[in-house]
């Protein structure tokens, strides 16, 4: 049945359905560390545990979905970390939302579900899967037949179908809930009128300011008592939703030694001597023995603009010319010109892929033999000759095993010459526009239609020997020993700082690092350092042992500078952040006194500006004005301007960036407006906020214990 095949080929859609992006990847070695925490929940949401077992099961589920779509893959640490967070977020969201649904008594009836699967308003997932590619008509009887025979289908098909059902069910709940919130919003007429006034009533204003940054921070001193007073007055501003740490660290890069460099240079120099003597028939094996990268004769011809800078002279050189060895970033290169040819730079083609059992990336649903695939491809070649693009696409949708045919109907569009596998590339290159061809690749048999080619341009083929200079084990061990010695000597922060100075090392900073971070400044694979920093056994002031970041060829020693816990921060933890604000307040006092003194005997703002030697700015201020030109956000100043009597100089105003004085010379009343239009605009704005901020608001109010840092 064609639908079964479509569901199998829709595994990419299924991944999207459950809210996990296709770009996220799966952890192969999830939880190989910190097994001692396996009895602790990964999270607690409203007293409901997300257990280690439940979490790992979800991760494994995503692993299976990803394998169905892409097969095996070498995953980076960042990709693995991203997937874990995605699974965590989804599980937390499910608990929070379902509590809301239960509290409100929301339900989805059988009649609603039947409507979504087989009624007038069929869900897009179902319509997409059960619409005939030949007629473009959705057939609800096919849905009914599929559901009735579900018990007879494979475990994979049943699992995929249950996932689709759950996604539609959850989406229906979410739609109902969002609608309840959205429909609860209403703008009374008085509010709409006030909004018009706040935005459109203008106060023609002259203002000047004495900026805080006119006084250097270095000239201001503050005491602990002054900072404590500020802390007590602004305590509510130092309540943190999440803990964070500040780290200092030293990096020991593992770079090749002079000995390592000399060893590889000797190999390269020897290869350079023999390179001119190597016949074309032997060049592939020669490069294989000398280079980090392989060479094949069907490799691409290159345009001049994509050549390495130092190989540019090959473009017009005689065949056989060799570029002498050169090194960039510890990599040696040398090049030999093999051929020159005029050929198209880009190609345009359509194809139908007929895969067979055992072909590369063939879906497990493909059971035909290689011989059957070849026979089918030959048959389709006769069918598609002369078909228009729509008819060709319909055949591709029905028969092609290339998943992209679902989106492009077999039409690949323009692609660079050399991008496709060699057999495909050669068929498009060597056959005329408008021709049809059956060719075989590792993926199966392709029925190709050559659509177009760009005008020929000159390209060259060159053989490249590339050899990276890697640090030897001896070099890596010596650098590790150096880092270990440094770590052992750093018994406290004072010695840590002094040794950095004595040894002329560079101290790096990582500030406001959160439990959910993965990287540190200059360090891509920083997760283990972050987990160390948030380990309950790591005390403030601690110096780490050596972090051996093998993937980045570096060793790192870390100093835990300070940690701020979730909740109300202690004064000592935020003292460093308070100091600039206290200094700003002191500057404000000084400038306020200067402004008051200047105002003595002054009756006009022009005279005040002259006395202070500052510029006057003019701006039409509204109550909804966000910032003042030349200064930035100034809500206090804007608020006072909106109530100033006309032609009256204000008292000095303590703003965010300066001490201001302002004068309103004219008030322009807000023009009449369409209140219903304002309502519509406000309603639309609220609806858009609901779509992306509703869950965030629920999450902020939820009681969540986040233990991710214990596991990954």
Q: Is 65 a residue whose pLDDT tops 80?
A: no
H or E stretch at 147: helix 140-148
Q: What percentage of residues in the chain have a pLDDT greater than 70?
A: 93
The confidence score (pLDDT) of residue 22 equals 31
Centroid of chain to Cα 656: 34
And the tokens for 656?
């965010």
What's the N-to-C CA distance of the chain in angstroms?
Answer: 43
Q: Residue 426 to residues 271, 339, 346, 454: CA-CA distances in angstroms?
A: 32, 16, 12, 15
Task: Give the residue carrying structure tokens 């018990």.
Answer: 151
Q: What is the second-level CATH architecture of the domain 346-453?
A: Roll (3.10)
The confidence score (pLDDT) of residue 160 equals 82
In the predicted model, what is the mean pLDDT of residues 569-589? 93
Stretch(es) of the chain classified as CATH 3.10.50.40? 346-453
The confidence score (pLDDT) of residue 23 equals 34
Specify the range with the lowest mean pLDDT, choosing from 1-5, 364-368, 541-545, 620-624.
1-5
189: confidence class by pLDDT, cuts 50, 70, 90: very high
Distance in angstroms (rounded) separating the CA atoms of residues 543 and 557? 7
In the predicted model, what is the mean pLDDT of residues 70-95? 86
Q: Is 170 a residue whose pLDDT tops 80?
A: yes
- Using an 8 Å Cβ cutoff, are 683 and 187 in contact? yes
The confidence score (pLDDT) of residue 136 equals 78
Distance in angstroms (rounded) separating the CA atoms of residues 550 and 527? 13
- 7 three-class SS: helix
Which of 182, 258, 230 has its CA nearest to residue 469? Answer: 258
Supply the angle between the helices 571-599 and 224-233 in degrees, to the nearest 10: 90
Q: What percentage of residues in the chain have a pLDDT greater than 90?
A: 72
Q: Is the dihedral of CA 511, 514, 515, 517 positive or negative?
A: negative
Buried b (16+ CB within 10 A) or exposed e, 206-225: bbbbbbbeebeeeebebeee
**Cβ-proximal residues to 669 (8 Å cutoff; 6+ apart), any chain:** 201
13: confidence class by pLDDT, cuts 50, 70, 90: very low
In the predicted model, what is the mean pLDDT of residues 360-368? 87
Half-sphere exposure of 2 (CA within 13 A, CB side): 15
As a whole number, the mean pLDDT across the chain is: 89
The confidence score (pLDDT) of residue 576 equals 87
Centroid of chain to Cα 521: 17
And the tokens for 269?
């120099």
DSSP 491-526: -SHHHHHHHHHHTT---EEEEEEETT---BTTBSS-
In the predicted model, what is the mean pLDDT of residues 349-361? 94
Distance in angstroms (rounded) separating the CA atoms of residues 251 and 596? 53
At 295-338, the pLDDT tens digits run 876 567 899 998 999 999 999 999 999 999 999 999 999 999 99
Distance in angstroms (rounded) separating the CA atoms of residues 233 and 575? 14
Q: Is 7 a residue whose pLDDT tops 90?
A: no
At 19-62, the pLDDT tens digits run 433 333 333 333 334 444 557 899 999 999 999 899 999 988 88
R_g of the chain, CA atoms, integer Å? 35
Task: Give the residue carrying structure tokens 């859609």.
Answer: 13
- 634 three-class SS: coil
Distance in angstroms (rounded) separating the CA atoms of residues 504 and 485? 15
At 419-441, the pLDDT tens digits run 899 999 999 999 999 999 999 99
Task: Give the residue carrying structure tokens 């003595």.
Answer: 600
CA triple 240-242-248, angle to 5 deg: 100
Buried b (16+ CB within 10 A) or exposed e, 48-57: eebebeebbe
Helices assigned H by DSSP within 275-314: 283-290
And the tokens for 586?
């002191």
- 566 three-class SS: coil
Beta strands in 3-83 (DSSP E): 43-45, 48-50
Q: What is the second-level CATH architecture of the domain 244-255+472-565?
A: Roll (3.10)
Beta strands in 469-605 (DSSP E): 508-514, 547-549, 554-564, 567-568
At 120-147, the pLDDT tens digits run 889 988 988 888 766 778 888 889 999 9
- Using an 8 Å Cβ cutoff, are 349 and 418 in contact? no
H or E stretch at 627: strand 627-628
Q: Residue 513 to residues 17, 232, 238, 516: CA-CA distances in angstroms?
A: 32, 25, 16, 8
Specify the pTM.
Answer: 0.71
Distance in angstroms (rounded) separating the CA atoms of residues 369 and 428? 26
Strands of the sheet containing 436-441, edge to edge, are: 411-416, 346-354, 444-453, 436-441
The confidence score (pLDDT) of residue 399 equals 94
The confidence score (pLDDT) of residue 87 equals 93
Q: Is 610 a residue whose pLDDT tops 60?
A: yes
The confidence score (pLDDT) of residue 619 equals 96
And the tokens for 693?
């901020």
The confidence score (pLDDT) of residue 70 equals 67
Q: Is the dihedral of CA 562, 568, 571, 574 positive or negative?
A: positive
Helices assigned H by DSSP within 275-324: 283-290
And the tokens for 201?
């009533």
The confidence score (pLDDT) of residue 297 equals 66
Task: Give the residue carrying structure tokens 């057999």.
Answer: 423
In the predicted model, what is the mean pLDDT of residues 2-18? 44
Helices assigned H by DSSP within 352-419: 370-384, 389-399, 405-408
At 502-560, the pLDDT tens digits run 999 999 999 999 999 999 999 999 999 999 999 999 999 999 999 999 788 999 999 99
Supply the angle between the helices 571-599 and 605-612 in degrees, to the nearest 10: 120
DSSP 204-263: EEEEEEEEGGGS-GGG----HHHHHHHHHHTGGGGEESS-EEEEEEEEEE----HHHHHH
What is the 8-class DSSP label of residue 320? Answer: T
Strands of the sheet containing 658-668, edge to edge, are: 617-621, 202-211, 658-668, 653-654
């Amino acid at each position: 049945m064609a639908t079964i095949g479509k569901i199998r080929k829709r595994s990419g859609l299924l991944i999207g359905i459950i809210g996990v992006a296709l770009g996220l990847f799966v952890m192969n070695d999830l939880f190989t560390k910190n097994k001692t925490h396996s009895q602790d929940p990964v999270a607690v949401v409203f007293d409901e545990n997300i257990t280690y077992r439940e979490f790992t099961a979800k991760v494994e589920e995503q692993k299976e979905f990803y394998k169905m779509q892409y097969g095996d893959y070498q995953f980076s640490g960042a990709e693995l970390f991203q997937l874990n967070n995605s699974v965590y977020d989804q599980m937390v969201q499910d608990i929070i939302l379902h509590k809301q649904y239960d509290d409100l008594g929301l339900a989805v009836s059988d009649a609603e579900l039947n409507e979504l699967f087989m009624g007038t308003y069929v869900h897009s997932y179902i319509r997409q899967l059960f619409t005939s590619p030949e007629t473009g008509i959705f057939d609800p009887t096919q849905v009914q037949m599929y559901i009735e025979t579900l018990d007879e289908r494979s475990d994979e098909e049943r699992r995929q179908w249950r996932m689709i059902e759950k996604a539609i069910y959850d989406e229906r709940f979410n739609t109902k809930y969002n609608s309840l919130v959205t429909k609860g919003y209403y703008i009374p007429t008085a509010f709409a009128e006030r909004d018009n006034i706040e935005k459109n009533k203008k106060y023609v204003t002259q203002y000047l300011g004495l900026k805080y940054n006119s006084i250097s921070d270095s000239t201001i001193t503050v005491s602990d008592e002054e900072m404590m007073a500020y802390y007590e007055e602004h305590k509510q501003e130092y309540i943190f939703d999440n803990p964070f740490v500040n780290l200092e660290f030293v990096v020991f890069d593992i770079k090749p030694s002079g000995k390592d460099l000399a060893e590889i240079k000797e190999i390269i120099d020897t290869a350079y001597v023999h390179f001119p003597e190597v016949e074309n028939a032997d060049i592939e094996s020669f490069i294989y023995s000398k280079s980090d990268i392989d060479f094949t004769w069907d490799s691409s011809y290159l345009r001049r603009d994509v050549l390495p800078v130092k190989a540019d002279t090959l473009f017009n050189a005689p065949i056989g010319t060799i570029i002498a060895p050169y090194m960039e970033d510890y990599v040696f290169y040398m090049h030999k010109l093999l051929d020159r040819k005029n050929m198209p730079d880009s190609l345009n083609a359509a194809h139908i892929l007929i895969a067979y059992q055992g072909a590369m990336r063939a879906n497990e649903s493909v059971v035909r033999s290689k011989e059957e695939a070849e026979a089918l491809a030959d048959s389709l070649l006769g069918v598609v000759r002369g078909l228009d693009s729509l008819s060709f696409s319909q055949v591709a949708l029905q028969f092609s095993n290339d998943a992209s045919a679902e989106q492009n109907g077999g039409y690949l569009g323009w692609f660079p010459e050399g991008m496709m596998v060699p057999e495909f590339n050669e068929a498009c290159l060597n056959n005329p526009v408008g021709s049809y061809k059956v060719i075989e690749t590792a993926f199966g048999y392709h029925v190709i239609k050559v659509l177009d080619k760009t005008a020929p341009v000159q390209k060259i083929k060159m053989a490249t020997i590339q050899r990276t200079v890697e640090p030897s084990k001896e070099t890596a061990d010596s650098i590790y020993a150096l880092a270990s010695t440094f770590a052992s000597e750093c018994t406290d922060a004072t010695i840590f700082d002094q040794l950095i100075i004595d040894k002329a090392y560079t101290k790096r900073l990582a500030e406001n690092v959160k439990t959910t971070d993965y990287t540190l400044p200059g360090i891509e694979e920083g997760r283990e350092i972050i987990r160390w920093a948030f380990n309950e056994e790591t005390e403030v002031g601690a110096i780490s042992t050596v972090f051996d970041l093998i993937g980045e060829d570096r060793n790192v020693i870390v100093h835990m500078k300070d940690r701020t816990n979730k909740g109300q921060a202690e004064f000592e933890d935020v003292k460093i952040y308070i100091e600039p604000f206290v200094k700003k307040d002191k500057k404000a006092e000084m400038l306020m006194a200067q402004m008051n003194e200047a105002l003595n005997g002054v009756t006009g703002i022009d005279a005040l500006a002259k006395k202070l030697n500052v510029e006057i700015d003019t701006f039409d201020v509204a109550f909804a004005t966000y910032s003042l030109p030349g200064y930035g956000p100034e809500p206090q100043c804007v608020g006072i301007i909106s109530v100033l009597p006309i032609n009256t100089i204000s008292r000095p105003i303590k703003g965010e960036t300066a001490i201001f004085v302002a004068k309103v010379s004219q008030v322009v009343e807000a023009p009449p407006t369409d209140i219903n239009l304002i309502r519509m605009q406000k309603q639309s704005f609220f609806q858009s906020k609901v779509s992306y901020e509703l869950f965030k608001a629920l999450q902020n109010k939820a009681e969540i214990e986040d233990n991710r840092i214990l596991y990954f």
